[in-house]
Chains A and B, each alone.
Chain A
Amino acid sequence: MTTSTNDQAGAASVMPDEATRARVKRWRYAKDGASRWLVGFGGVSVIGALALMFLYLFSEVMPMLAPPEMEPLTEYAAPGEAGERTLFIAVERYQEVGFRVTDAGALYFFRPDSGEVLQRITLHIPDGVEIVSHAFGEPRTRLNILGLSDGTALLFRDAYSLIYPEGVRMVEPSVEFPLGEEPIRVDDDGAPLSVIGAQQGARGFNIAGYTADGRLLLTNVDARRNFLTGEVTLTRRGGVMERPDYAPVALLLSADLRDLFVGDDEGRLHHYNTLNVTAPERTQTVRVVSEGTGIGALSWLLGTVSVIVGGEDGSVSQWFMVRDEDNIRHLTLIREFQRMPAAVTAITPEYARKGFATADADGNIALHHSTSHRSLLQRQVSDQPVRFAINAPRNNGFLTVDETEIVRYFSLRNPHPEASIQALWSRVWYEGRQQPDFVWQSSSATDEFEPKFSLVPLTLGTIKAAFYAMLFAMPLAILGAIYSAYFMTPRMRGITKPAIEIMEALPTVILGFLAGLWFAPFVERSLPAVFSVLLLMPVMIMGLSLAWFMLPKHWRGRVVPAGWEAAALIPFILLFGWICVEMNPVLQIAFFEGDMRQWLTDRGVTYDQRNAMIVGVAMGFAVIPTIYSIAEEAIFNVPKHLTQGSLALGATTWQTVTRVVLLTASPGIFSAIMIGFGRAVGETMIVLMATGNSPVVNFNMFEGMRTLSANIAVEMPEAEAGGTHYRILFLAGLVLFVMTFALNTVAEMVRQRLRKKYASL
């Protein structure tokens, strides 16, 4: 370089001419600019991608908070002939065909978007007989029943089949008569059935009726098809139940055919046990609306466990049978929903969820969900009383019909009614439970299952796991860090640090597998040994130090030189551990009647083989390196002049450690603990493998838990994308993300401040 600048003649011959130089320069600057842009773009987009993660998690959670959207599509006069009154209206799952039942005994299939009649079916009702009552069954059965004036009833349901003429999907409606097209006799005396109710169960159909002359009837009809002849034979049992001392207005039968609820005109609900159809017994009577008002409407929820009561005062409440300690069931008020402005006229349950719709006499409709205790939407659709309002099977459409027989058709988006702050974080009274509780049970084999989405057991489980892990890891990691940063000889430190760093890199799946398959069975049969190690190890170490201290002064340094105590202790610790394990049977027999596990169980302590103690040790193992290396760094970097000053003033090394070093390094140790805690909170595989993953709410060290992270790992693959369960799992992920991110950020800030402090000292 220097030669070329000095030798001008040479330079002149080598140097390119002006133009080339300018071109090269331009090219170089262009490259520089391009590189700047490339790096800038790349860098910003990578960082953007990381930020995107947070935004994406958030965007998956947000839709749960969005209120339902309901848009009116069309309205038209009810399809069919004028003067007929609607008893029932519905739409099938593809929303291509609607279905209407009228009091003239006519069934209409129509196009829900225009009201155009596709098909009209006239029911086989004898001349002179009138329809006097109507009811519908559990929504999935699509069952309708008409009570007639001659003491008979007619059951039918709308059915749809998909056909593909020319490859285009078409919905073909039809009507099915499960008990035949002719009405079947309910009252042998032939009195009009002024109130009716029906349900389909495993043992046929139960039909309840109240006659105009004041008798309550219950009939079970079972249809059996002879598989050779195809002939259907009906068997009919039951008869008159009683002459009630009240006036029924609605009858509800459960799908297990066990319960019959009768609502009366004074606002009371009467319960009958109908396990034996021929001899039903009345068990209780409960007032379900406030004094002086009557029942406006009554309906089951999906699964026929809960009864929704709509009062004439607009009240909406949920009731079901709760068992008490003596196993006696009592009809209990579970929760009240937001009132309707006027008397409730109709309640219809949703098809696949524990939600329902209500309508009132002022033309309002509302959507509610029972588990989450939410009243999601309320709006006025008409200035007339609404006769009937119903959700589409997939909850994406809504039909109403009012007193003037105007049908209104709405589009609906109500994807996540199950989620609410209360459902996620408070005690919820689930169907069939004795009291409100925190439960996580997201799915089950049956359709009518009530999903239980309480995040409390999972959060507590997470904290429990992290707590036991920290209990195990903190003393070991911090004490170890103090020793290796301050006392250990550099040579030994040169081995210890990398060894523990490698420990950090060990896959957690290996820790989990060892914990679950090796450590958990070992602990189960060696409980006394494990506890004696945990409790006596410090005593043993202190004893050794005393023994060492008792040695003559000039021997001490030779037996164990300063800084090599840890190495000297290793054989003793191993020996002590071995002795404890060998002594295990002796301890078992001496103190625990031969088996400590059984001994614990006898004393009422539940013992799971894979429990919090196992997780604590395994996860402690995983967080020790994290805590150790950060704490060690903080202690090691305490400026030397501080410690030297302290020692020079006559403090012992231990005094220097506790009063100077630890005090100065305490923020660093604190941040080490925080980061370790963050890691314990998010750890998945260890918890998955070393616990039974049952979501329990307790802090018993001998029981397992289910953590947020393990729960995601277990349930995410099965969760339907976009569903409430899926989004709640994302919420769990978001909670984990925010929690660990916040913990780490605080810890990092503390560390940075500490670094600055050290630099200024």
Chain B
Amino acid sequence: MKLTRRTLLGTMGAAAAASALPFKAMAASQSIRHFWWGNPTRDERTFKVIEMFQASHPDIAVQGETIGWGDYWTKMATQTAGGNMADVIQMAHTYIHEYVQRGGVVPLNDYIGNGIDLSHYDAGANDIGTMGGDLYGINIGATCPSIPYNKRVFEEAGVEFDPLAWTTDDFAAACEKITSSTGGAVTGSEDLSLYMETFEIFCRQSGADFYTADGKLTMPVEEVAAWWQMWKDLRDAGVVEGKDQTVQLDKGMADLGLIRGTTATTFRWANQTGALQGLMQDPLGVAIVPQRAGMQSGHFVLPSMFLCLSRDAGDVPAALAYIDNWVNDEETLKVLGIDRGIPPSQKGRDILAPQLNETDAMVVKYFGDTQSQILSTPNIGPKGSGEVRDSFMRTGTEVVLGNMSPQDAADQFIHDAEGILIRASR
């Protein structure tokens, strides 16, 4: 028995070690790890970039690590806790503040112009990645809010509108027209009342903001109530999706009425248009988020992804070389395409212009056409703002289900949000 077990343990260990060994990075004097969330297309592009980088930098070995969005954050948190973060990591605007405020990623100020060249970037392109005067996340793809709409349905219903300048009233009229002309088979829009991202634009149209620059909650309770009231009216009129679909939160693309063919519009970040189009047969158009009559624009641009240097980065110069190559090398930019967002520099956009497909070209055009309507970059939320977003969806659900009036729910939400922020700041 002793023999059996020992032999087995021995062979097992050896087999496991042997199978892991060949995959270890080959001898290079420096080595870094790059971790991103991906999908088959993005992974292919990124590994190609790594391959190209290694060809031009034979002394730096790069290990690419990737997994889907949902699992990425679990693994990231675990690696962070273990002090084993990859050197270069990809961040999203919904998470970057959590890591910055806890010291998971380090400031890049000292390296800008001194290792990383960002001189060609659009003015303000790195504002959101900058917190407290320090740059933490380099914008590697910009995006902006958009309303993707089913062109066929809009045309067949005879909706005529200016996708770059329409009001909430135009939007309501369009919903009504679509719903009635299809006999209710297709409703005008997904019920966006629980989308806090869309509400942010609505809120900013009135001149208000979610948070102050130092992270205090400034969201006016009247705006919250007005937002939920607006959607309640649309719901009551029966021209947007019913409560059944609405109360499912954080829906993936596959669950959207737009993809299923039951609604004509929804809200998404503009860079996701191509992915949406890939899942449906009708052609898509993109429109700006409707504006409230007599108010200012609430439109803004933000990075869909950041490249960050992690706290655990061992070989900083190698990581900097890799990041610099990523944002500057023409061939690299060509390979990356607009998969991660629209390049935040004229140079990047010029390089990509000839290779864009129809949908991508439409998105880039939309991005350019709406530049004049950009208000300002919203302030990034404090620790706990992710939880505030959850609370927004939960309290809003009560309105959708008819358990609470918009006003009561708004009061309750603001009250809860303040509690959440106090708890998170401890």
Bound pair: A and B?
A: no
